[in-house]
């Protein structure tokens, strides 16, 4: 484990119920991050998606991958301080080639594997994949930008 949820909250502005990364397990600055989220039946989203047949929404998987990518972007910045991070946020610019390959249900552990395709200044293009039990469940190309709050 590189970062637990408390340390992740020092990097990302997201909070319950919208912080969708529980741990960072691997990080190579400017290149790659691996993180996970434990999906629990106690997630508020399962109240309505779907009663009696809980399926974790694909958009939440995409958001979780984006949050992991945000940690990668922040931790890849040279000389960044905690104050710098607190004054910045990562915004989506685009989501391309999104595919959902299998449903995610309570009890699953979503593993996010994010590779940098390209980085130019504050703009990051990422190849994002989500796995459950080493089986790909979702993927997308994400583009995001780090901006001042």
pLDDT of residue 79: 82
Based on the residue annotation, tell me whether 53 is a catalytic residue of this protein. no
**Residue ranges of the chain with per-residue pLDDT less than 50:** none
For residue 128, what are the CA distances in angstroms to 3, 56, 146?
A: 19, 17, 18
Does the global pTM surpass 0.85? yes
Task: Supply the mean pLDDT for the chain.
Answer: 96
Q: How many CA atoms lie within 13 A of 55 on its CB side?
A: 10
pLDDT of residue 24: 98
Structure token digits, residue 60: 């939440």
Q: Residue 4: which of 30, 117, 12 has the closest Cα? A: 12
pLDDT of residue 32: 98
pLDDT of residue 100: 98
- Residue of 13, 22, 30, 49 marked active site: 49
Render pLDDT for 24-53 as a digit per residue (tens, 0 to 9).
999 999 999 999 999 999 999 999 999 999
Q: What strands, in cross-sheet order, belong to the sheet with 123-132?
A: 23-28, 32-38, 109-120, 123-132, 135-148, 88-100
Domains of the chain: 5-148 (3.10.129.10)
pLDDT of residue 108: 98
């Amino acid at each position: 484990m590189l970062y637990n949820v408390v340390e992740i909250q020092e990097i990302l502005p997201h909070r319950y119920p919208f912080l969708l990364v529980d741990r960072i397990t691997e990080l190579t600055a400017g290149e790659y991050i691996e993180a996970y989220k434990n999906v629990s039946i106690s997630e508020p989203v399962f109240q309505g998606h779907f009663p009696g047949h809980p399926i974790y929404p694909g958009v939440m998987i995409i958001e979780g991958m984006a949050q992991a990518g945000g940690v990668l972007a922040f931790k890849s910045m040279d000389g960044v301080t905690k104050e710098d991070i607190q004054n910045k946020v990562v915004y989506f610019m685009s989501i391309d080639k999104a595919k959902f390959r299998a449903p995610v249900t309570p009890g699953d552990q979503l593993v996010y594997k994010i590779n940098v395709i390209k980085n130019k200044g504050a703009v990051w293009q990422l190849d994002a994949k989500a796995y459950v039990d080493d089986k790909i469940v979702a993927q997308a190309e994400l583009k995001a930008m780090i901006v001042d709050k």
